[in-house]
Structure 1
Amino acid sequence: MDHKTSLTQHINAPADKVWAVVSDIPGSAAMLSGIDSIEMLTEGPYGEGTRWKETRNMMGRSETVEMWVSDCEPPSPGRGGSATVKALQGGADYTSRFALAERDGGTDLTLTFGAEVVKPTRLSKIMMAVFGPLGMRITRNALAKDLAEIAAKAESL
């Protein structure tokens, strides 16, 4: 059972500035109000293989999830960029894809988020059918807030 949502935020900044914000994992806890803390697990520049632990407060609970960049294409002149971030937590496979596209002197940042239950049981299928839509609404609201905060930071650079 797969749940997916996609949101786009137009940002009045060039793709390289948006990328600088999206790829600043160590600074994301200070920039995004939804993140409580970040613990880097790898060193070096942002790219495929970058790993960290991210702690967020969702639905009144603090959750720490290990995340990693599985695919990364930084933007180049005339071409947007993209990054795919993965996480496995509680029997679910989470995928977040950030795609940058230059438009109207700025950048459209599209965030596509998906959650798929790995080896679903009968009970997990029922739980996802009942609670999945609510969870995705809550997730969509959190992602929209993240995108607005990314936009504000990129536009201030």
Structure 2
Amino acid sequence: MQLDVSRHVNANPDTVWSVLTDIPNAPRTLSGVLSVEILTAVPYEPGLRWRETRKMFGMKATEEMMVTVAEPPHTTTIVAENGGTEYTTVFTVTPDAEGGSTLRMTFAAETAHAPAAARVATALFGGIAKNASRKAIEQDLADIAAEAERRAG
């Protein structure tokens, strides 16, 4: 599964980046995040790890996340793995012609190492999961945009 979603933000890339990478405050910024536990005492850079608990599909789900790429204020890649499924999220922030930024999120889930039952479930219910994931991504981007615009004043 792969999703690619973007939106305009009325804030410059530096401001969007500061919201996007403010992991300790994610529960205040992102309506879908219930809690964050920082696992490494480093700034936002490759190697930063945290546990993020979200409400997904009506249930709590906790994933361990890790930054693998951080090129401020333009791109970051975050990875997670659960039950043999690898998740990769790439955020890009670019200045746009409207004087703000375009915030883009590309999300991919790869089940190559997942047990056979998980791969079958993904094939059967993938469309439902993809639609729910798209809605969650759109909400995350809206939440990031709202906080960046608030900070931009």
Query: Taking structure 1 as the reference length, what is the TM-score of the superposition?
Result: 0.92
Checking the alignment, whether the CA contact within 8 Å between 2:83 and 2:114 is kept in structure 1 is: no
Match of 2:137 among 139, 143, 153: 143
Q: Per the alignment, in what secondary structure is the counterpart of residue 26 of structure 1?
A: helix
Distance across 2 between alignment mates of 1:143 and 1:4: 12
Does 2:51 correspond to 1:53?
Answer: yes
After superposition, give the CA deviation of every residue in 1:94-128 in whole Å (9 maximum; x if it has no partner): 00000011002000000000000132454333211
Structure 1 or 2: more helix by fraction: 2
Distance across 2 between alignment mates of 1:39 and 1:121: 28
Q: Which residue of 2 aligns with 1:72?
A: 70
Match of 2:11 among 10, 13, 20: 13
Q: Which residue of 2 aligns with 1:78?
A: none
Distance across 1 between alignment mates of 2:132 and 2:5: 13
Aligned amino acid, residue 20 of structure 2? V
Structure 1 residues not aligned, in runs of 5+? 76-80
Structure 2 residues not aligned, in runs of 5+? none
Distance across 2 between alignment mates of 1:82 and 1:122: 34
Aligned amino acid, residue 85 of structure 2? A
Does 2:79 correspond to 1:86?
Answer: yes
- Could you tell me how far 1:45 is from its partner in structure 2? 1.4
Checking the alignment, whether the CA contact within 8 Å between 2:94 and 2:103 is kept in structure 1 is: yes
After superposition, give the CA deviation of every residue in 1:15-65 in whole Å (9 maximum; x if it has no partner): 000000000000001111100000000113101111000000111111110
Q: Which residue of 2 aligns with 1:44?
A: 42
Q: Per the alignment, in what secondary structure is the counterpart of residue 70 of structure 1?
A: strand
Distance across 2 between alignment mates of 1:42 and 1:35: 19
Query: Taking structure 2 as the reference length, what is the TM-score of the superposition?
Result: 0.94
Aligned amino acid, residue 132 of structure 1? G
Percent of residue pairs identical: 41
Q: Which residue of 2 aligns with 1:24?
A: 22
Match of 2:146 among 134, 152, 155: 152
Q: CA RMSD in A?
A: 1.1
- Aligned residues, how many? 150
Q: Per the alignment, in what secondary structure is the counterpart of residue 44 of structure 1?
A: coil
Distance across 2 between alignment mates of 1:120 and 1:67: 18
Aligned amino acid, residue 84 of structure 2? G
